[in-house]
């Protein structure tokens, strides 16, 4: 599969990564190589095989819906790059 610059830009956008020209060229090469490599999966006949997400049959794990103490707000914000008035601080998003 040919990986062109438009494809790389699209995938970078999905991944929320900013690549300069050199990095885009490198990414095109890496992606092409990796996609070619994983493409060998196509050789295997998987007709009728149910896709398996989890190896163990653990489903719908529930717990009682009870009120519990949650983590301290101050703690949660301790690792925030920026915070104000007990909230995460982000750039203005609405004009």
Partner 1 sequence: MELFDLAALELGAKIRAREIGVEEAVRACLARMEEKEPQVHAFIRVTREQALRRAREVQRGIDEGVYTGPLAGVPMAVKDLISTRDVETTCASRMLEHYVPVFDATVMQKLQEAGAVCLGKTNMDEFAMGSTTESSYFGVTHNPWNLSRVPGGSSGGSAAAVAAREVFYALGSDTGGSIRQPASFCGVTGLKPTYGAVSRYGLLAYASSLDQIGPLAIDARDAAAVTRVIMGRDALDATSVDAPLPGMPEGDALSGLRVGVPEDYFGEGLDEQVRERVMGAARELQARGAQLVPVRMPELAYAIPAYYVLACAEASSNLSRYDGVKYGYRPKHFEDLHDLYLRSRSEGFGPEVKRRIMLGAFALSSGYYGAYYNKALQVKALIKRAFDRCFEQADLLITPAAPTTAYPLGSNTDDPIKMYLGDIYTVSVNMAGLPGLCFPCGFDEQGLPVGAQLIGPAFSEERLLRAAHAYQLHTPYHRQHPGEE
Binding-site ranges for partner 1 (CB under 8 A): 10-12, 14-19, 27, 30-31, 33-35, 37-44, 46, 49-56, 58, 61, 63, 71-72, 75-76, 78-82, 88, 90-93
Phi first, then psi: give them for residue 74, nearest 5 degrees. -60, -40
Q: Which whole-number Å values give the CA distances from 82 to 1, 44, 61, in the listed order?
A: 43, 50, 36
The answer to whether the beta carbons of residues 1 and 35 sit under 8 Å apart is yes
Q: Name the minimum Å distance from CB 34 to partner 1.
A: 5
How near is the Cβ of 73 to partner 1 at its closest, in Å?
A: 11
Q: In the complex with partner 1, which residue's Cβ is closer, 86 or 91?
A: 91
């Amino acid at each position: 599969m040919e990986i062109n610059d438009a494809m790389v830009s699209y995938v970078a956008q999905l991944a929320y990564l900013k690549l300069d020209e050199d990095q885009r060229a490198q990414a095109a090469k890496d992606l092409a190589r990796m996609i070619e490599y994983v493409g060998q999966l196509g050789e295997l006949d998987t007709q009728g095989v149910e896709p398996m997400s989890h190896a163990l049959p653990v489903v719908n794990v529930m717990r009682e819906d009870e009120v519990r103490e949650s983590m301290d707000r101050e703690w949660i914000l301790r690792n925030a790059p920026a915070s104000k008035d007990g909230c995460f601080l982000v750039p203005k998003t609405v004009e």
